[in-house]
Each structure stands twice: as structure tokens, then as C-alpha cells.
Amino acid sequence: MKMKWIDKNLHIKPINTHIDPFRPVENAIITHGHADHAKPGHKNVLATKETIEIMKIRYGENCADHFQELELNQTLNIDEVSITFFPAGHILGSVQVLTQFKGEKINFTGDYKTSKDKTCVNFEPVKCHTLVTEATFGLPVFQHPDEKKEINKLLHSLYLFPERPHLVGVYALGKTQRVISLLRQQGYNKNIFIHGSLEKLCNYYQENNVNLGKLSKVSLINKNDYNGEIILAPPSAIKNIWSRKFEDPIISQASGWMSIKQRAKQSLVELPLILSDHADWNELTNYIKISEAENVYVTHGREEAIVHWCKKNNINGLALSLSGREDEEEL
Ligand SMILES: [Zn+2]
């Protein structure tokens, strides 16, 4: 198996363009705004309007020399290569990048999930010859539970402990807004408190018609003001001195990794909520089937199991083991 017009670093050779490059390059296509995919310092960036705006919020207006927007389901032709964005269902603005050259279609999923999410456009399956996929949760043991069941654990805990502040660890981009949206969908109408570092992106989602209801920045005047309230903060803030401001809080965290009990325990999480923005094992393998891809290249995550699964199903599988795509949920 040879990659002819793309290489292991997701470089599209005929148009000298990289997908989610880790280092500054001349031409970059960015699948979404998470820090392990969107880096500052490229000369030209092609992305959705939302991804570009998110990059500017995080890195500043001049984080690339030139930006070009491409809408979902629109095709851009550059020389002999055509590029089309399809929704990835991962976070606001996230896309899969379908590229076509001389009749061959290669689809780069970026990070994705196929389950529905009110905070972004839902995932859309695409057929291709070669699928370049993530595999963050690419082991059969990862089977994400129902999101409503998970969010109800938080509401149930509030009911059981109405005096205690509920401090929920969430990553700033995507997870924060999804947790808030899920709480609203379950009828939770009270004010939700957020750590200051989450404010800009929450505002940005609201401007993009994602309804998050009433949010207030935490401004600790009186410790007891937060009894029985939900407070969202980045996990790093919950681990440091910031969280000591709260009286006897229940420590929660919303992450796909919370399915690993050991991990929850290590981070002293009392109330783990298994909420992932990535495809689980079934979603990953189902999508490989639906895509009808003959070749599957796995960019990052648990590559071996997916590659093995491909071989069993007569599909060429190859692990690319891209560097720099760590546990994005830490970013
Ligand atoms: Zn991501």
C-alpha cells in the first residue's frame, strides 16, 4: 500500500497543502479549532468561518497571514485537486475534508462523532476510497453511554446534595457548551456559573445561535453563594487553588476518559460524567464500513485495534501515529 499524492504528515502534495499541520506551513487546511489541530503561524489557512473565528479568539486576529473560508458542502478547486468540507459533528465549525485528485477520493475525518449534538452541525457520512481517521477511543471497550443518562447523574446529585456546589471540569472549547446545552435540554433553567476562561467561547457559541441560557462568571464574594449551584471550570482550575474557594464542593468531570475508573480516581473526581466528543469503537468501525473505503489510515489514538479490525475485514489499515495529537482533552 502506497500513499501517492498524500504523505504520512497529511501533506497533499499536488497543491502543497497540509491538513492540521503541527508546525507553521505555507498552506494549511484546519479541520477544527482544538489546539492539537489548529496551530497559529501558518501563511494561508483554509477552514470554515467558525473555525477561523475560533482560531482568532484563541490566538489573536493575526494568527495566520491569510484566511479563506469554505462553507459546508461547497467544493473548492485548486489546480487538479478539489476540496469539500462535510460536517464532523465534533465541535462548532468542525469538518471532515474530502479531497479528490484524478478520480481518487481521500477523506480526512479530523476529530468526529456521529451522535447528534445541538451545539454543532450533525455529522454527515461521506464515501471515499481512502479514509484518514482518528481513533482516540479506538478500542472495543470504549462504548459511550447515553448522554442524557450521564447529564442526569449531575442533576440527580444536585437533588441529593442541594447544599453543595457542583464543580464540573470541562474543556473550554466544545465540552463546556455541550454540557450546558445538555443541562438545558433536560430542563435545567437556573443560572449556570462559569470560570472566566470559558466566557469568550461560550459567548461565541451563543452568537452562533447555540442556546446556552443564562451564564454568569464566578466572582466569589460570599462562599455560600454557590451552594447547590453548577459551576463549570477547566480541569486545571479545579485541581489548583481556585477550587478551594468553594465550600465542600462535589468534584465532577465531563470527559470520554471518565469511562476509565482509574483515571477518574486519579484526578479525584467524585462524580465522573462520561461525555465524549469523539467517536467510540462502534462509531469508528461503522463509519469505516459506511465510507466503503478500501484503505484506512489512522492518524492518532488507539491505532492498533482499528488496524487489526481493518485487516480482519479485508481493508488495508495503516497507523500513521501522528505526533502532537495527544489527549486533546487536556488542551
Ligand atoms: Zn478535537
Q: How far is the CA of 21 from the centre of ligand 1 (A)?
A: 14
Q: How far is the CA of 182 from the centre of ligand 1 (A)?
A: 19
Q: Are residues 263 and 301 in the same domain?
A: no
Average pLDDT in the chain: 93
Q: How far is the CA of 226 from the centre of ligand 1 (A)?
A: 31
Per-residue pLDDT tens digits for 63-103? 999 999 999 999 999 999 999 999 999 999 999 999 999 99
Percentage of the chain surpassing pLDDT 90?
84
Q: How far is the CA of 208 from the centre of ligand 1 (A)?
A: 19
Q: Please give the span between the terminal C-alpha atoms of the chain, in angstroms, as a whole number.
A: 34
Q: How far, in Å, CA of 180 to CA of 185, rounded?
A: 9
Q: Side chain identity at 176, as an amino acid letter? A: T
SS3 31: coil
Q: How far is the CA of 308 from the centre of ligand 1 (A)?
A: 24
Q: Are residues 93 and 183 in the same domain?
A: no
SS3 87: strand
Q: How far is the CA of 204 from the centre of ligand 1 (A)?
A: 17
Grid coordinates of 32: 477544527
Which one of 227, 250, 273 terminates a domain? 273
Per-residue pLDDT tens digits for 145-189? 999 999 999 999 999 999 999 999 999 999 999 999 999 999 999
Q: Are residues 288 and 235 in the same domain?
A: no
Q: How far is the CA of 12 from the centre of ligand 1 (A)?
A: 21
What per-residue confidence (pLDDT) applies to 3?
62
Residue ranges making up the domain that contains 19? 11-141+278-330
Residue that has been written with the C-alpha cell 457542583 in this structure: 166
Q: How far, in Å, CA of 306 to CA of 318, rounded?
A: 9
Q: How far is the CA of 152 from the centre of ligand 1 (A)?
A: 25
Residue that has been written with the C-alpha cell 467561547 in this structure: 201
Grid coordinates of 152: 442526569
Per-residue pLDDT tens digits for 129-139? 999 999 999 99
Q: Are residues 91 and 118 in the same domain?
A: yes
Q: How far is the CA of 214 from the centre of ligand 1 (A)?
A: 26
Q: How many structural domains are present in the chain?
A: 2
The arithmetic mean of pLDDT across residues 246-273, rounded, is: 90
Q: Are residues 203 and 243 in the same domain?
A: yes
Q: How far is the CA of 34 from the centre of ligand 1 (A)?
A: 5
Q: How far is the CA of 195 from the centre of ligand 1 (A)?
A: 21
Q: How far, in Å, CA of 147 to CA of 170, rounded?
A: 15
Nearest to 32 by CA among 135, 137, 123, 111: 111
Q: How far is the CA of 329 from the centre of ligand 1 (A)?
A: 8
CATH of residue 242: 3.40.50.10890
Q: Check residues 222 and 256 and name the one with the higher pLDDT.
A: 256
CATH of residue 57: 3.60.15.10
Nearest to 158 by CA among 69, 227, 73, 61: 227
Q: How far is the CA of 32 from the centre of ligand 1 (A)?
A: 7
Grid coordinates of 312: 480482519
Identify whether 4 is part of a domain: no
Per-residue pLDDT tens digits for 225-251? 899 999 999 999 988 888 888 989 999
Q: How far is the CA of 328 from the centre of ligand 1 (A)?
A: 6
CA angle 144–147–151, rounded 5-degree value: 130
